[in-house]
Amino acid sequence: MDISFETVGSVTIVTLGGTYFDAGRSKEFRREVIERLSSPAKILIDLTEIQFIDSSGCGAILAASRRANPTGQGPGDLKLCGVTKQVRMVFEMVRLHKIIDIYNTRDEAIRAFEVDSSAVALASR
Amino acid sequence: MLTFNETTVSDAVAQALVGELQASFIPIAATLGCSLAFRIDSRDEWLVIDPACRCDDEYSVGDLDCLGAGRDLATIPIEFEGTWLGDIRVCTPRAAATTLGVLRQIIESTLKRILLEKQESRLRNELSECRQNLEALYETHSLTPTSQSMEAIVDRVLSRAVGGEHDRRAALWVEHNGTLEQFGTEASGNGSRPPFDEGLIRTAVAEQRGLVIDDLQPECGGSARVLIAPVASFHGTRGAVAVWGSASGKPFDSRFVRQTQALATQGVMALEGERLYRAALENELIRQELDIGARMQQMLLIGNQPNPLGFAHVASLVLPSQRVGGDFVEFFPHQDHCIDILIGDVMGKGLKASLVGAAVARQFHRTLCSLLSARQDHLPRPEKIVSIVHEEIARLLAEFDSFVTLNYARIDATTTRFEFVDCGHTPILHHRRQTRQCQPIRGQSMPLGFSDRESYEQVSVLYDDGDLFVFYSDGVTEVRDANGEFFGLERLIALVEGPGHDGNPEALIQIIQTALAHFAGSDRFDDDLTIVVVEAHVAEPPKPGTRTACLEIKSDLSRLEAVRSFVRSVCQGDDYPCLSARRVSLLELAVTEAISNIMIHAYGGRTDCWIRVEGEISNECVLIRCTHTGEPFDPSTVEPPPFDGTREGGYGVYLIDQSVDEVFYVQNGRGIHAITLIQKRQLTEPGA
């Protein structure tokens, strides 16, 4: 599984390659991504190349989300972008789209992180 | 001569006593004016002490009378701690009773002091010797064959036996295979040849009786003193340590004898220990070689049991004996309805038989591959395969002066035919499920290697669904009981016809194995045991318009993409897709979840197990059947997932249910389980 990391501002972008994210790869994802992430953290997972995901892949993304935002109250968060047709279908089946924010592109997701930060700053004044 | 108690007082004591008395009495005699006479032995000396006065031969009272004319002749008894030791006669002036009383007291006190000193000296010497003996035993006991060379151990034992005496020598003899072997000679002096014949050692060892000879007169050389201390170990090893030296040397007292016996025990045990150690080492090497050989045999000669087959349930048992044997088994599955089974036995045992077996099995592989590559649409007949193998292998068998019995059988589930070529092997047992009757079936061909011109012919029988075919090596029927009686074919048939297995191959093999162990009185057998049981089924004829495909994979999660690729290819159809892209995607998801569950849960994460994936397309549906032999799975025990993000797993069964139209979890009760997923073709879908 090709996994690359990139940092834009305070956001760590994780790009998954290799067309599928199934039980054969979720273990590697947990080892290479989740265990390396600081917690809390702002994480964006780019799934543009993933054409197939199964329940194990969904479980790994949920685990990463918990790592990024362990309390559920911020300041960390995990967002997704580049979700393909099959992946969206599975996310909808397991209701993952109701738990994790999904964006069409990276820019949209990063802007959403910035808006979140602004909102937090305003709220703290 | 002083005739004191010989066990407590020696001549040396008497000499010392005389010396003391002389020194004491010369000034006393002068003071008292008495002329005392002592006599030692028969020598004429002034001042005579003669405790042996009772011996008239040696002592003449007249002599003393002459010396002591006009004097009293007084006798003073010598006693020590209530024990009479002797007498001293003293000539003293008449009426000098006082002189005699003083004299008696002086003699007694002097004697007591001398004896006490001697006794103390003797005890000190004994203590010293005991300490040396203990040191010797401790030293020799701590020598082990693993830490010291055997020569060094024997040298130390013999060195301790000699004990630093210059004129002593020692040697160790140990019995081995009925003969005595000498292990080293420790010689403080010159020469190491014993002054006695080895027969003396042999007698002492045989009778286990020690021997002390104080004055042996050998044919050459001076007289010798010899001690032979024989011992026998707990494990029965016998031997002896012999110590010898000049007859004029230090005598062998009882303590020395005991010490020598202890040293002999140490020497014999050390040699026995070394022999046991070497024997254990050799046994371990042999065991390792046999282990490697048996594993090579397993690898080269015993083919992997085939993966779950839809039309046949195969179980096998191969118990290699302690020797490397020549049994071999191979399975050749063909298409989806046919399997070939090869079971053979090379004449003889050992490496040669094993190598010949490997060569024959490999030749079957090569021949089959060659024939199949020439005509992929046609399975070569068993008799043709065997004939070609024989042509190829006959020269090798002749060179090795060997021959091979075998059965090459084929089960075809579409024709329900069981075809086989029997080359002098044990008869195959055909157990009919309906009648529960078992019949041995045989062919007429000769073993491979018997004749260059042998023609091989196959025999064909029809079978019904659920019939069993039992293949076995002669090691099974030739298991013997304590009386030497063979287990035999009749007992084997009775087991196959008997209750308890209900047609299950694994259960039947277990029953046979248990019965053989019970019959032999051991679960280790002299010969290789090979049993193959096949439960044959009848393949359902494909429905018109139905197309099937099959994939077999190892239980490795990295193979999931290959499974999805297989599902996509099944759904693709010959001319057009059978399902919409979304429903293909859902079927892929369901199959992925099902296979993942089998790998992770049914096989517990093991990656060396097999999963068979069959695809079937009909006008009505696309069916994917995933067959495995792992733990069964009951979907009703799985709780529905919560969908609130609190759980990272447990979505698999839910996704399967949501993705396909129908799902069946089937357990056949014989260790084979299947998950069948069906995606129905909808009217809107192409080709439906």
- Are residues B651 and A86, on separate chains, in Cβ contact within 8 Å? no
pLDDT of residue B669: 57
Which residue from A minimizes the CA distance to B557?
A: A24
pLDDT of residue B52: 36
Q: What mean pLDDT is predicted for residues A60-89?
A: 91
Contacts of B585 in chain A (CB under 8 A): 52, 86, 89
Q: What is the mean pLDDT of chain B?
A: 78
Residue pair B520/B575 in contact (Cβ under 8 Å)? The answer is: no
For chain B, list residues whose CB is within 8 angstroms of any CB belonging to chain A: 556-561, 564, 582, 585-586, 588-589, 592-593, 596, 599-600, 641, 643-645, 647-649, 651-652, 654-655, 658-659
- The answer to whether the bond into A40 is cis (omega within 30° of 0) is yes
Least Cα separation, residue B674 to chain A (angstroms): 20
* Residues contacting residue B160 through CB under 8 Å, at least 6 positions apart: B136, B139, B140, B263
Which residue from A minimizes the CA distance to B558?
A: A24
- Of residues B335 and A53, more confidently modeled: A53
In this structure, what token pair is assigned to residue A88?
A: 């969206």
Give the burial class of B138: count Cβ atoms within 10 A of its Cβ; 0-12 exposed, 13-18 middle, 19 or more buried.
exposed
Q: Does A65 touch chain B (CB under 8 A)?
A: yes
- pLDDT over threshold 80, residue B89: no
Cα B433 to Cα B442, B468, B593: the distances in Å are 20, 7, 37
Q: Which of B558, B645, B659 sits opposite A24 (nearest CB)?
A: B558
- pLDDT over threshold 80, residue B145: no
Give the burial class of B482: count Cβ atoms within 10 A of its Cβ; 0-12 exposed, 13-18 middle, 19 or more buried.
exposed
Q: What is the pLDDT of residues B438-474, one digit of tens each?
A: 999 999 889 998 877 778 889 999 999 999 999 999 9
- Are residues B655 and A94, on separate chains, in Cβ contact within 8 Å? yes
Interatomic CA distance for residues B514 and B675, integer angstroms: 34
Interface mutation vs chain B, best among A22, A26, A27, most B CBs within 10 Å: A22
- Are residues A23 and B651, on separate chains, in Cβ contact within 8 Å? no
Contacts of B648 in chain A (CB under 8 A): 59-60, 62-63
Q: Does A87 touch chain B (CB under 8 A)?
A: no
Q: What is the mean pLDDT of chain A?
A: 90
Cα B456 to Cα B427, B446, B474: the distances in Å are 16, 8, 21
Least Cα separation, residue A125 to chain B (angstroms): 31
Interatomic CA distance for residues B148 and B134, integer angstroms: 20
Q: What is the pLDDT of residues B552-610, one digit of tens each?
A: 888 999 999 999 999 998 888 665 667 888 999 999 999 999 999 999 999 999 998 88
Contacts of A56 in chain B (CB under 8 A): 596, 649
Highest mean pLDDT among A35-44, B8-17, B152-161: A35-44
pLDDT of residue B639: 84
- Of residues B233 and B508, more confidently modeled: B508
Q: What mean pLDDT is predicted for residues B110-128?
A: 76
Contacts of A90 in chain B (CB under 8 A): 589, 655
Contacts of B565 in chain A (CB under 8 A): none
CB pairs under 8 A between A and B: 70
Query: Token match 């979304």: residue?
Result: B582
Yes or no: domain A3-124 corresponds to CATH 3.40.50.300:
no
- pLDDT over threshold 90, residue B378: no
- Of residues B22 and B521, more confidently modeled: B521
Q: Does A115 touch chain B (CB under 8 A)?
A: no
Residue pair A1/A28 in contact (Cβ under 8 Å)? The answer is: yes
- Are residues A94 and B651, on separate chains, in Cβ contact within 8 Å? yes
3-state secondary structure (DSSP) of residue B673: strand
Q: What mean pLDDT is predicted for residues B222-237?
A: 84
Query: Token match 């020469």: residue?
Result: B191
pLDDT of residue B577: 65
pLDDT of residue B24: 63
The domain spans of chain A are 3-124
- pLDDT over threshold 60, residue B4: no
Q: How confident is the model at residue B86 (pLDDT cuts 50, 70, 90)?
A: low
Least Cα separation, residue B642 to chain A (angstroms): 9
Contacts of A62 in chain B (CB under 8 A): 645, 648
Contacts of A30 in chain B (CB under 8 A): none
Which of these, A2, A23, A86, A58, lies nearest to B641 by C-alpha position?
A: A58
Rg value, chain B, Cα: 49
Highest mean pLDDT among A64-68, B348-352, B610-614: A64-68
- Of residues B337 and B31, more confidently modeled: B337
Cα B618 to Cα B164, B382, B548, B657, B660: the distances in Å are 102, 33, 9, 21, 16
- pLDDT over threshold 50, residue B361: yes
Beta bridge partners of B622: B617, B679
- Are residues B592 and A60, on separate chains, in Cβ contact within 8 Å? no
Of B3-17, B499-513, B533-547, the least confident: B3-17
Residue pair B617/B546 in contact (Cβ under 8 Å)? The answer is: yes
Instruction: For B351-418, give the DSSP string.
Output: HHHHHHHHHHHHHHHHHHHHHHHH-TTSPPPHHHHHHHHHHHHHHHHHHTT--EEEEEEEEETTTTEE
In this structure, what token pair is assigned to residue B523?
A: 């679960």
Predicted interface score ipTM higher than 0.90: yes
